[in-house]
Chains A and B, each alone.
Chain A
Amino acid sequence: MQFRRGISLATERLKIPMSKQCALLPIFSGLVVVLFSAFLQAQDINTNLGKDLLQSEIETYAITVFPDGTNLPLGRGTVVQGAALYKNGCSMCHGSRGIEGPAARLVGQDGWFSLTDPLRVLRIKQYPILLISVGGLWPHATTIFDYIRRAMPHHAPKSLSNNEAYALTAYLLYRNGLIDEHATLDRQSILNVTMPAQARSAFPRGSDFVIE
């Protein structure tokens, strides 16, 4: 770690380690102390203890997939394959139709009522998270792939292959009526899916950041 100019020059000249600087303060004259504080305020703190991160390490750990397809891996999966995976690995938490819970609702619109589930109000009372749904709120299909691959199934996150993650994404999109039951999903075709929530997106007014 170094403090730019003011402090580092003084300490280099005196050959005194950073940790001892404070002990020296009392022997400096008043003027030096004043200059010292002025430098502290005026200069940016400049640090350098980070180590080089290798490209291979980045490729191992950078798992975020972006809505424009950046970082989508090779691989492919079908709705049919996804249906089988869902039945065995997902339905116990998300329900056989993706709406029953207790885990987050995957299919359908957001809100209080669903035409297909007369018990929904009771379910929501027990599991309020069912008020919202992946199919209803998520604006990008890439997020479904990203989250399944990094975090699902809950008891064994990161255990699915890229093909399996594509297949499950395909199945959820199919259940939401967004792709055909014979569809195959890969890094190209996933970008053709338009989630209905994208048109509903709004951003806080007067926010101090810019979206896209």
Chain B
Amino acid sequence: MSKSSLKVAAGGGLLDRRSFLLSGLALSSAHAVASSQSSLGESFPQWMKTPGGADLEYGLPASAEGHVTRQLAENTPETSLFSMWHTPIEKQRGIITPSGLHFSVNHNGVPDIVPEQHQLLLHGMVDKPLKFDIESLLRYPMVSNIRFIECAGNTAQNAVSFNPLNLGCQELFGQLSGAEWSGIPLKYLLNEAGVKPSAKWVIAEGADGGSHSRSIPLEKLMDDAILALYQNGERLRPSQGYPMRLLLPGWEGNTNVKWLHRLEVTDKPAYSKDESGLYSDILKNGKIQRFSFPMEVKSVITHPSGNQVLPERKGFYEISGLAWSGRGKIARVEVSADGGKTWAQADLDSPVLAKSLTRFRIPWQWDGTPTTLLSRATDEQGRVQPTRQQWGDKYASYSFNHYNAIQAWHISRDGTVENTYV
């Protein structure tokens, strides 16, 4: 297919998403003519001429992929205080984060829980206070769903920094992951205990050193919340709450209480530490917004993204990224390759699931001039990502939670990709 037959979808070289792309790579048809004296081995690589090595009981990534790891946020310690491990979303495709790369924010490290001694206590405004051990819980009916989790503070740097910091996707957007979570709908356990009619809230508490705690509206627990026991088909990793965590689809990461050990049914919120301060939003008018649970519609181009370098000027590229909304499915993602002057609709890869990461893609022919790439997601309720200016009109200049503005990546003449504001 020649370049001239590709359909232009918007300015800056965005092509119709149905365009079929061929790279400039020429397929070589040359091959050596074998003589009757030579063996096959002469032209084959070493690993095709020796028996392979042993496989492992538990598989690991290829050693050449060893650089694809989580990364500690700047100035946070590995174990104590407040550690934030970011997912390398710019090195992944699809919508599932491998369990070992799922982001994690720990307020008091990762507890070493003995599963046989761990119990889930359920009490408060219920007819029958109950406790559940893991052996029993594993016998309950379970559901599986693919969901994203995003920390309320994801992309906080762009919320509070007056100038765009020179950061990559992992640093800016790495408090975001997608996984298949399997577990017990919380309503089964609540119904078993018998919730009193006047109950409105449930205080969820973890079994970590700091007994992390959040007040959750009962309505959410009776809706789509699960007690997650499995992540991506295997039991939870310690970093993700082993042996069990709360999974509140679409709600800020902090409410998805890990190492869950206690649910107290009440008629009022507790105003726990995090819902009192760190996970509140300060508005422009000085008010402090509390209990802003859902993560709003958001997107980011992961390929290409900050600190990457496009290898070829005037080349074909596929722009690819992630979109998500805590309120439902993604309806559409538009991409601009000219700083927001014109937009084209990207393809959404199947499956497009509610409260899950959605992968979008669009072909792009870069003409080699400096430009800015943007993505703008809309969810099924018609909520559209704001501009950074619009977001900032609502919040105080130092407020950093629930930042969901349109992300911009600047492309320099030499192909360098940088975080920028538009």
Query: Tally of A-B residue pairs with Cβ under 8 A?
Result: 180
- On whether the beta carbons of B282 and A110 are closer than 8 Å, the reply is yes
Contact (A147, B289) CB under 8 Å given A112-B397, A131-B160: no
Most chain-A Cβ atoms within 10 A of its Cβ — which of B108, B160, B282, B292?
Answer: B282
Decide if B271 touches A200 in the complex (CB within 8 Å): no
Interface size in chain B (residues, C-beta < 8 A): 65
Interface residues of A in 16-47 (CB under 8 A from B): 44-47
Residue of A nearest to B274 (CB): A147
A211 touching B278 in the complex, CB below 8 Å, given contacts A47-B188, A49-B132: no
Q: Contact at A202–B289, with CB atoms within 8 Å?
A: yes
Q: Is A139 interfacial (CB-CB < 8 Å)?
A: yes
Residues of chain A whose beta carbon lies under 8 Å from any beta carbon of chain B? 1, 44-53, 55, 57-58, 61-68, 93, 102-104, 110-112, 126-129, 131-134, 137-140, 142-143, 146-147, 150-151, 154-155, 157-158, 197, 200-204, 207-212
CB-contact partner of B268 in A68, A102, A103, A126, under 8 A: A68
Interface residues of B in 103-153 (CB under 8 A from A): 108, 121-124, 128-133, 136-137, 139-141
Question: Which of B81, B219, B270 contacts A66 (CB under 8 A)?
Answer: B270
A150: nearest chain-B partner, CB-CB: B211
- Chain B residues within an 8 Å CB radius of A44: 191
The reply to whether B278 and A50 form a contact with Cβ atoms under 8 Å apart is: no
Interface of B toward A, CB cutoff 8 Å? 75, 80-82, 108, 121-124, 128-133, 136-137, 139-141, 156, 160, 188-189, 191-193, 200, 203, 205, 209-211, 213, 217, 219-220, 261-262, 264, 266, 268-273, 276-278, 280, 282-283, 286-293, 396-398, 400
Q: Is the CB of A154 within 8 A of B108?
A: yes
In the assembly, what is the distance between CA of A51 and CA of B134, in Å? 12
- The answer to whether A51 and B131 touch (CB under 8 A), given A62-B264, A64-B203, is yes
Bound complex: CA of A107 vs CA of B70, how far in Å? 34
Question: A132 touching B132 by the CB < 8 A rule?
Answer: no
* The one of B140, B160, B397 that contacts A47, using a Cβ cutoff of 8 Å: B140
**A200 and B203 in contact (CB under 8 A), knowing A50-B122, A112-B397?**
no
A104 with B278: in contact, given A53-B129, A204-B291 (CB under 8 Å)?
yes
Beta-carbon contact of B270 and A203 below 8 Å: no
Which residues of chain A are near B271, meaning CB under 8 Å?
66-67, 138-140, 142-143
Pairs across A and B, CB under 8 Å, 26 listed: A47-B140, A47-B188, A47-B189, A50-B189, A52-B131, A53-B130, A57-B131, A58-B121, A67-B270, A93-B81, A110-B398, A111-B396, A128-B400, A131-B400, A132-B282, A138-B271, A139-B271, A139-B276, A142-B271, A143-B270, A154-B210, A200-B287, A202-B288, A202-B289, A203-B289, A209-B219
Question: Among the listed A50, A104, A110, A147, which residue makes an inter-chain contact with B192, where contact means beta carbons less than 8 Å apart?
Answer: A50
Instruction: Point out the residues of chain B lying under 8 angstroms from A57, CB to CB.
Output: 121, 131
